[in-house]
Chain A
Amino acid sequence: MHAVRNLRLCTKDCVCLFICPTGATNTETGQIDFDKCLDGCRLCVDACPSGAIYLVSSTYPKPQTTEDAVAERLFALANSKAAQEDLARSIAHGSDDPALRQICKVVEMSSRIIAEDLWRESGYIIAQSDAAEQLVEAMLAEYGAEEGFPVEAVQAFLNGRR
């Protein structure tokens, strides 16, 4: 667990600089030096008058499971949202009207965000979930041999899980 500064909330009161035993809070980027931060210390978290520092975990519990009847319907909606995103992109592609392309862009963005949320609730909420690991394994098996597939990064991810 290490401390993270929310730069939107930080009011530069510097109490975290005074209290940190390792100097991790004092950096040129404004963010805390995660390598120097002591696991679970949280002195700065409690000291900050602006509530601008929080702890981020290094481990996460397995997410709640989604019932099959629900997941099935979430998948169906995510599939439909992807089809809408594709259609919007195709319509934009076939048009040189800036107003229509703008509307299509909005549909693309919004449909993607809605789809991501559906994926999240259907079991793919974090990369630490079994569902996400199996998905990445299946992607490697199915597409790993194709040009442009990020084989090394994917293998490193899967190795990190074992």
Chain B
Amino acid sequence: MDADVRQMTWTELAAVCTNLEKACTKQLRGEEATTFAKLASFYESRREPQADAKIEELVALIDADLAEGYPSANEAAQAAEDRGSKRALLWGEKATKLLKSLLVRYEKQGAKLTEETGVFVCEICGFVYVGSAPPEVCPICKVPAFKIHPVRKEAI
């Protein structure tokens, strides 16, 4: 089944391109990687921020993924004995739960949450960690710590 380009949002189009860019980079195909990077930035440049976006909306989408999206996809992947999809769903669901807990904690604690500590994201699976140093091995996808990157506060 092919995705329908006309139905996809700018961000979806950008994401499928950054995914293919990474695949080309891993194959050491620089020229093709650059082509997908150019496509991704074309779609990135079309994105526009929406006014009055709220954390609650974000949490609602995450809740819907956890209540509906992941269980139904897991069931389909199980029925199809598709272990690759089961793997992606397992990692994604775990990372999604961590994103939910990050947002819930931020709503409670505000800026205090990250006042004296760092926040890290695993470049492979999206694992999120609040603490002084990332774990030696990603608890979700098991890559070594050099693949887990700090996300810093920027001065505005």
Which A positions have Cβ atoms within 8 angstroms of B? 4, 8, 34, 56-57, 60, 64, 66-91, 93-94, 96-103, 105-107, 109-127, 131-132, 134-136, 138-139, 142-143, 148-150, 153-154, 156-157, 160
Assuming the contacts A73-B69, A103-B103, asked whether A153 and B1 have C-beta atoms less than 8 A apart, the reply is no
Cβ of B137 within 8 Å of any chain A Cβ, yes or no, is no
Number of interface residues of B (CB under 8 A): 89
| Max chain B C-beta neighbours (<10 A), residue from A77, A85, A86, A113 | A113
Tell me how far the C-beta of B17 lies from the nearest C-beta in chain A, rounded to whole angstroms. Answer: 8
The 7 tightest CB contacts between A and B, nearest first, are: A90-B53, A99-B111, A73-B73, A110-B126, A116-B19, A93-B49, A113-B126
- Which residue of the partner chain, among B16, B50, B111, contacts A135 with CB atoms under 8 Å? B16
Give CA–CA (A127, B27) in the complex, Å.
10
- Which residue of the partner chain, among B2, B61, B128, contacts A80 with CB atoms under 8 Å? B61
Q: Which residues of A contact B95 (CB under 8 A)?
A: 110, 113-114
**Extra pairs beyond A80-B69, A81-B15, A102-B154 (9, CB < 8 Å):** A70-B82, A71-B1, A114-B95, A114-B125, A116-B15, A120-B19, A127-B29, A131-B2, A135-B2
Assuming the contacts A109-B151, A115-B15, asked whether A126 and B27 have C-beta atoms less than 8 A apart, the reply is yes
Which B positions have Cβ atoms within 8 angstroms of A? 1-6, 8-9, 11-13, 15-16, 18-20, 22-24, 27-29, 31-32, 34-36, 38-39, 42, 45, 47, 49-55, 57-58, 61-62, 64-65, 69-70, 72-73, 76-77, 79-80, 82, 84-85, 87-89, 91-92, 95-96, 98-99, 102-103, 106, 110-111, 113-115, 119, 121-128, 146, 151-156
Give CA–CA (A91, B35) in the complex, Å.
30
28 contacts between A and B (CB under 8 A): A64-B84, A73-B69, A74-B73, A77-B73, A79-B12, A80-B64, A85-B15, A90-B49, A90-B51, A98-B153, A98-B154, A99-B115, A103-B102, A107-B58, A107-B99, A109-B126, A111-B99, A113-B122, A114-B92, A116-B18, A121-B84, A123-B1, A135-B3, A135-B16, A138-B4, A150-B39, A154-B35, A156-B31
